[in-house]
């Protein structure tokens, strides 16, 4: 299951397959349910600016929290030379932008208002943690070597320090 997200009126949660639900937290009723064909949302879901923003394995979405209608959908770009499909691994929101990376070390910036893919960066280092955004130009993430500072204007990665110990499970590596 995904982590639960709320807008103060509804609780949103996804199951292990393809279904996303809005629940009434008082009555525990299902308010709406939609099927997202590529499923698996995990922790890649946030509520901002009256939109439920999420990523599945292959798409970014904005969902109307009241109806479950898809406001916009953006497919994750696929490289010509890729043997397998890219899968979005992490997602965060900052200043009306979604920041994400996939399992093929590509970093994305998506406009959360219209779903437009604004930036796609091929990373030199494979991220293994959450993404922390400092400002419009700076993102941080852990890789196998240590903490990376990503300049979003120049697309340059800077190794800030070499890691001492990072959990083997990437979902347990967080930047606070």
Contacts 24+ apart (CB under 8 A), 86-89: 86/58, 87/57, 87/58, 88/44, 88/55, 88/56, 88/57, 88/58, 88/60, 89/44, 89/127, 89/170
User: CA 68 to CA 25: how far, in whole Å?
Assistant: 16
Tens of pLDDT, residue by residue, the chain (176 residues): 678 999 999 999 998 778 999 999 999 899 999 998 877 787 899 999 999 999 988 899 999 999 999 999 999 877 655 556 678 889 999 999 999 998 888 999 999 999 999 999 999 999 988 999 999 999 999 888 889 999 999 999 999 977 555 555 555 555 55
pLDDT at 167: 57
């Amino acid at each position: 299951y995904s982590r639960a997200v709320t807008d103060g009126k509804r609780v949103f949660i996804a199951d292990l397959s393809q279904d996303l639900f809005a629940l009434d937290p008082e009555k525990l009723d299902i308010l709406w349910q939609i099927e997202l064909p590529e499923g698996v949302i995990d922790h890649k879901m946030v509520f901002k600016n009256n939109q439920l923003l999420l990523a599945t394995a292959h798409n970014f979405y904005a969902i109307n929290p009241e109806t479950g209608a898809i406001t916009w959908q953006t497919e994750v770009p696929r490289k010509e030379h890729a043997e397998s499909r890219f899968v979005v691994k992490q997602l965060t929101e900052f200043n009306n932008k979604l920041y994400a990376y996939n399992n093929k070390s590509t970093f994305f910036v998506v406009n959360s208002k219209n779903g437009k893919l604004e930036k796609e960066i091929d990373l030199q280092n494979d991220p293994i943690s959450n993404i922390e955004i400092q400002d419009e130009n700076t993102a941080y993430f852990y890789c196998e070597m240590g903490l990376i500072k990503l300049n979003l204007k120049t697309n340059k990665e800077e190794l800030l320090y070499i890691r001492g110990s990072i959990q083997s499970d990437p979902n347990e590596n967080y930047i606070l």
